[in-house]
Amino acid sequence: MSGTLVLVRHGQSDWNLKNLFTGWRDPELTPLGVEEATAGGQALADTGIKFDIAFTSVLKRAQDTCNIVLEKVGQPGLETIRDQALNERDYGDLSGLNKDDARVKWGEEQVHIWRRSYDIPPPGGESLRDTGARVWPYYLTEILPRVLRGETVLVAAHGNSLRSLVMVLDKLTKEQILGVNLATGVPMVYKLNADSTVASKVVLGDMSGAH
């Protein structure tokens, strides 16, 4: 009997609020981000779910979201593995820049290509394909085997590292994934088959209406 995989994008960070490219920089959650993570954790708690292990990135906004979720489901201190393989996409030279300023510097079309193409990275940074190239092997070797053993696994990470996983789990093309945006703090609950395909997927409500 295979298990359950729960993906949660971190709540709003200080740099999300300021419209900055964040990437591997390490800002804190905003008060709204804490609320989003709390609401996501409560939604999971309401299902009665219990985790066997958690995975997160080495960045604080994802770790704090992970901790808040575990607190809400009554499992503070659960074993949590942190790895930079789950980090946000590295925006390279764009990191720390205001998105509007970047458009002035490089042009609207070029910035849109960097943000939204599948395989064209910004200067010094990663494309979504590059991000997937480190997320997918980590998922296959560290996360998936636990789910297939029947464990319930939490992954609290970032918009692009999780989009890489959603692309594979939902069998999306590189064109389809470009239109997918993951809501902050909203859990996606996957049940997997023994062959690692998806048996079911439930998104536990968009929490944005709760504010």
For the chain, which residues make up each domain, given as ranges? 4-210
| Mean pLDDT of the region 162-186 | 95
* CA Rg value for the chain: 17
pLDDT at 97: 95
Q: How confident is the model at residue 206 (pLDDT cuts 50, 70, 90)?
A: low
Which fold is adopted by the domain 4-210?
A: Rossmann fold (3.40.50)
At residue 115, does pLDDT exceed 60? yes
pLDDT at 2: 79
Q: How confident is the model at residue 151 (pLDDT cuts 50, 70, 90)?
A: very high
Active site residues: 10, 88
At residue 29, does pLDDT exceed 90? yes
At residue 208, does pLDDT exceed 60? no
At residue 5, does pLDDT exceed 60? yes
Does this model's pTM top 0.85? yes
| Mean pLDDT of the region 70-90 | 97
pLDDT at 84: 97
